[in-house]
Amino acid sequence: MQVLGNIEVTAPPRGRRVVRDADYSWGNNAMMNLYSGTTNPFSHRCRIVLYEKGMDFQVIDVDMYSKPEDIAVINPYNRVPVLVDRDLVLYESNIINEYIDERFPHPQLMPPDPILRARCRQLLFSFEQELFSQLEALEKNLKNVDKARVHVRDRLTELAGIFSKQKFMLGDEFSMLDVAIAPLLWRLGHYGIELPKQAAPIMKYAERIFSRQGFIDALTPAEKVMRR
> In the prediction, which pLDDT does 117 show?
96
* pTM to 2 decimal places: 0.88
Whether 61 is in a domain gets the answer yes
Instruction: Answer whether residue 108 is part of any domain.
Output: no
Greater confidence (97 vs 18) lies with 97
Long-range contacts of 187-192 (CB under 8 A, 24+ apart): 187/41, 187/226, 187/227, 189/226, 189/227, 190/226, 190/227, 191/138, 191/149, 191/152, 192/138, 192/145, 192/149
pLDDT 10s digits, 148-183 = 999 999 999 999 999 988 999 999 999 999 999 999
Q: What is the CATH number of the domain that holds 19?
A: 3.40.30.10
Under 8 Å between Cβ of 17 and 30: no
Tally the domains of the chain: 2
Residue that wins the pLDDT comparison between 114 and 7:
114
| Widest CA span in the chain | 53
Long-range contacts of 69-72 (CB under 8 A, 24+ apart): 70/24, 70/25, 71/24, 71/35
> Do 6 and 94 fall within a single domain?
yes
Residue ranges making up the domain that contains 184: 114-224
Distance CA 195, CA 87 (A): 44
* Whether 132 and 168 share a structural domain: yes
Instruction: Choose the weakest-confidence range: 23-27, 122-126, 127-131, 194-198.
Output: 23-27
Q: Does some domain include residue 168?
A: yes
Q: H helices within the chain, ranges in order?
A: 41-53, 69-74, 93-103, 114-130, 135-140, 145-159, 176-186, 200-210, 213-218, 221-224
Question: What is the structure's pLDDT at 160?
Answer: 93
